[in-house]
Amino acid sequence: NSPAPETKTGAAPKKYTVGFSQIGAESAWRTAETKSVQDEAQKRGVTLKFADGQQKQELQIQAVRSFIAQKVDVIFLAPKVETGWEPVLREAKRVNIPVILLDRGIKVSDDSLYKTLLTSDFVEEGRMAANWLAKRMNGKGNIVELQGTVGSAPANDRKQGFAEVLAKFPDMKVTRSQTGDFTIAKGKEVMEAFLKADPTIQAVYAHNDDMALGAAQAIEEAGKKPGKDIILVSIDGVHQALEAIKDGKLNCSVECNPLLGPGAFDAAEQILAGKDVPKRIVSKDQQFDESTAAQALPTRKY
Ligand code: GYE
């Protein structure tokens, strides 16, 4: 009569604490990511200290410093921009607190300053948006671009991927490009200005769904039909965007998975158990348009 084993295989390690420095709450995507991390912490019984950076890198750096002072076991960092993290990450490394990057990458000269990055391939997302649009516009037309947060990895990469594909279509041009900070309000405001300045706009490429939803409002208020008079393609695949596609007000959204909580805690537990984790853990993204959005909606998790 052998005794029952103490733990099942793959059982969670001892109780531990994670400090999570989040960028803010600029978009539906961001809110879904925050919730995914918070829900997963609760599910696993992990203590989570959450810090809202309110779109300020300075506040994020302060948060990481305070997590170090509180001696958390692991730090999750969703870095607003790509540069400027080296000093604070060195402070974390000096006291052996592993840092896991969530969703956005950074530029550092020494990549041992973080353990892993959980992300999507933002360049590929930009390419997918451009390929969809090129097909839809038969390789011809004037496009305006709403960029994400200046200096952020998704804004840089989504611009690059889109431009790369567009280079193959000489009759498709980005006539205007400006940041809309990944928000509905700024997307709307920038689109209003674009529409006033330029009556020839045929399509909008927005680096996220929120800006596309804002742009669609601006188009309606200017007396045109978003999704018909002006084609809109964006990135994230959030529920609100798929609803708008179903209603014919947006045309395409390339998915970007914000549900990074489970993967982040898996990585944390592997690191705490002394195991190696891959340097980049990349989610696989699909795309939704008029032919697939309605069907996908009932089972979408964000
Ligand atoms: O696409 C956007 C958010 O970093 C991938 O940030 C993320 C982006 C996402 O505000 O909606």
Give the distance (Å) from ligand 1 centre to CA of residue 29.
6
Query: What are the two backbone dihedrals, phi and then psi, of residue 85, each rounded to the nearest 5 degrees?
Result: -100, -10
Q: How many CB atoms lie within 10 A of CB 40?
A: 20
CA distances from 162 to 77, 87, 235, 238, 258 (A): 27, 33, 12, 20, 21
pLDDT by 10s per residue, the chain, length 302 = 444 333 344 555 679 999 999 999 999 999 999 999 999 999 999 999 999 999 999 999 999 999 999 999 999 999 999 999 999 999 999 999 999 999 999 999 999 999 999 999 999 999 999 999 999 999 999 999 999 999 999 999 999 999 999 999 999 999 999 999 999 999 999 999 999 999 999 999 999 999 999 999 999 999 999 999 999 999 999 999 999 999 999 999 999 999 999 999 999 999 999 999 999 999 988 999 999 999 999 999 89
DSSP at 226 = B
Contacts (Cβ under 8 Å, ≥6 apart) of 213: 184, 187, 240, 241, 244, 250
68, with CB counted inside 10 A (0-12, 13-18, 19+), is middle
Residue recorded with tokens 């809202």: 52
Q: Is the CB of 104 under 6 A from ligand 1?
A: yes
Atom of ligand 1 nearest to the CA of 207: 1
Complex ipTM tops 0.95: yes
Whether 114 and 91 have beta carbons less than 8 Å apart is answered as no
Rounded to whole angstroms, the Cα distance separating 62 from 78 reads: 14
Q: Is the CB of 182 under 6 A from ligand 1?
A: yes
Rounded to whole angstroms, the Cα distance separating 286 from 128 reads: 9
**Hey, which bits of 180-279 come out as E strands?**
203-206, 231-236, 252-255
Rounded to whole angstroms, the Cα distance separating 200 from 189 reads: 18
Q: Is the CB of 157 under 6 A from ligand 1?
A: no
Q: Is the CB of 206 under 6 A from ligand 1?
A: no
Rounded to whole angstroms, the Cα distance separating 244 from 227 reads: 9
Q: Is the CB of 103 under 6 A from ligand 1?
A: yes
- Determine the pLDDT at residue 14: 74
Residue recorded with tokens 């690191």: 271
**Hey, which bits of the chain come out as E strands?**
17-22, 47-52, 74-77, 99-102, 116-120, 141-147, 172-179, 203-206, 231-236, 252-255, 280-283, 287-289
Atom of ligand 1 nearest to the CA of 153: 4
Q: Which of 181, 174, 172, 168 is nearest to 210 (CA)?
A: 181
Q: Is the CB of 236 under 6 A from ligand 1?
A: yes
DSSP result, 27-60: SHHHHHHHHHHHHHHHHHT-EEEEEE-TT-HHHH
The residue length of the chain stands at: 302
Cα radius of gyration rounded to whole Å, the chain:
21
Token pair, residue 164, equals 């790369």
pTM of the model: 0.95
Rounded to whole angstroms, the Cα distance separating 210 from 57 reads: 21
